[in-house]
């Protein structure tokens, strides 16, 4: 019988220890060897605008430079106010709706929090 504890998630006996962390090969659950509790998930991504201000869902931002749109040929002008942004984990960090243009995806480096 192994001296290692069973997995708290799936109760598997086949756990092993690696660098102070117990790992279950059956369900891939990891927990710390010292405290016996689950290893914390990585911290949530912090989104910052061009000035370094932290952005959150629902914020209002201004576009800081003219942005040419691909496909439609239009341009979002500098100073355009974008209300009620939604932060997403994608190549573009912000999903929003801009009056006159519809649904858009923007990068945080091109906006400033109002």
Distance CA 70, CA 94 (A): 17
Beta-sheet strand order (sheet of 30-32): 16-18, 21-23, 30-32
pLDDT at 14: 83
Q: Output the pTM of the full model.
A: 0.62
Each residue's pLDDT tens digit, 35-66: 544 444 556 789 999 999 999 999 999 999 99
Each residue's pLDDT tens digit, 68-112: 988 877 899 999 999 999 999 889 999 999 988 899 999 999 999
Cα angle, residue 76 at apex, residues 70 and 82 outer, rounded to 5°: 120
Average pLDDT over residues 22-35: 78
pLDDT at 109: 95
| Domains of the chain, each with CATH number or no CATH | 1-39 (2.20.25.10), 60-113 (2.30.30.40)
């Amino acid at each position: 019988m192994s001296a290692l504890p069973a997995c708290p998630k799936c109760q598997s006996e086949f756990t092993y220890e690696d660098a102070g962390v117990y790992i279950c090969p059956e369900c891939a659950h990891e927990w710390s060897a010292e405290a016996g509790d689950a290893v914390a998930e990585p911290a949530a991504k912090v989104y910052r605008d061009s000035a370094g201000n932290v952005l959150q869902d629902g914020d209002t931002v201004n576009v800081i430079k003219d942005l040419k749109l691909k496909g439609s040929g239009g341009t979002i002008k500098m100073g355009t106010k974008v209300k009620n942004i939604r932060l997403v984990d994608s190549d573009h960090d912000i999903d929003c709706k801009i009056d006159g243009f519809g649904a858009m995806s923007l990068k945080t480096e091109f906006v400033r929090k109002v």
